Amino acid sequence: MSMRSQSPVSRRRVLSAGSTLLAAPALLSACTFATSSYPQPPLRPRAPINLNRYYGKWYIIGHIPYFAEAGYVGAYATYTPRPAGGIIDAYHGHKDRFSAKLFRFASIDYVEPGTSNAIWRVTVLGGAVGVPYVIFDVNDDYTIALSGLPNRSLGWVFARSNRMDEATYQAKLETFYHHGFDARQFRRVAQFPDQIGQPGFEKI
């Protein structure tokens, strides 16, 4: 039956249904992004990691907050090769406000053999415990990196620059989502004073 032969009520129903169908992809994207139900196979890296390019300073743009990093602003990590073996993994940040003294904490990381440098073991408690850590996505130019724990309980958005536009950040959260993370748990880390207290940023 053509649209011309339908009653005004029927035409409205068809048009309404068509509008709903056109909007469905956007609605589904918004809903599923907030309620990730992806299965959780092993967290695998996109490509091998070139350690010489990965070393250096990475700003923490966003993360799933946890006790050791909660409440820090201007946070960044540095990775440097350790002469005795392994990688010095140093966290830096200011507690609550940028005027606070810079806090630093370092651990020793080791690359797991046979993982193309993408899976590290972070040693804590004086080396008594090793926590696996996966660098699963790095831009080709090594300006943005995504990493997380294999069980998806923690994740980090790293960047060489301390400023990232919202569209890029949201795209990276979608990458986390497609790797089985609950993207709702991520919060941005304030890298500038005017970001403190803004929507989407970690509460201080």
Question: What is the distance between the alpha carbons of residues 148 and 52, in angstroms, rounded to a whole number?
Answer: 20
Tell me if 184 is assigned to some domain.
Answer: yes
Question: What is the distance between the alpha carbons of residues 118 and 150, in angstroms, rounded to a whole number?
Answer: 12
**Position 5 confidence tier, pLDDT thresholds 50, 70, 90:** very low
Q: What is the mean pLDDT of residues 175-181?
A: 95
Total structural domains within the chain: 2
Q: What is the mean pLDDT of residues 26-35?
A: 36
pLDDT tens digits along 84-100 = 999 999 999 999 999 99
Cβ neighbours of residue 59 under 8 Å, at least 6 residues apart? Answer: 75, 76, 158, 159, 160, 161, 162, 191
Q: Does position 101 have pLDDT exceeding 60, yes or no?
A: yes
Provide the residue range defining the domain that includes 1: 1-31
Quick one: 89 and 21 in the same domain? no
Quick one: 25 and 100 in the same domain? no
Question: What is the distance between the alpha carbons of residues 43 and 17, in angstroms, rounded to a whole number?
Answer: 39
Q: What is the mean pLDDT of residues 34-38?
A: 47
Please say whether the beta carbons of 188 and 202 come within 8 A: yes
pLDDT tens digits along 42-82 = 898 999 999 999 999 999 999 999 999 999 999 999 999 99
**Comparing C-alpha atoms, which of 36, 93, 102 is closest to residue 70?**
93
Q: Does position 20 have pLDDT exceeding 70, yes or no?
A: no
Q: What's the pTM?
A: 0.80
Tell me if 124 is assigned to some domain.
Answer: yes
Quick one: 186 and 120 in the same domain? yes
Q: Which residue has the tokens 């960044």?
A: 76
The pLDDT, as a whole number, for residue 125 is 60
Q: Does position 39 have pLDDT exceeding 70, yes or no?
A: no
Quick one: 83 and 145 in the same domain? yes
**Position 130 confidence tier, pLDDT thresholds 50, 70, 90:** confident
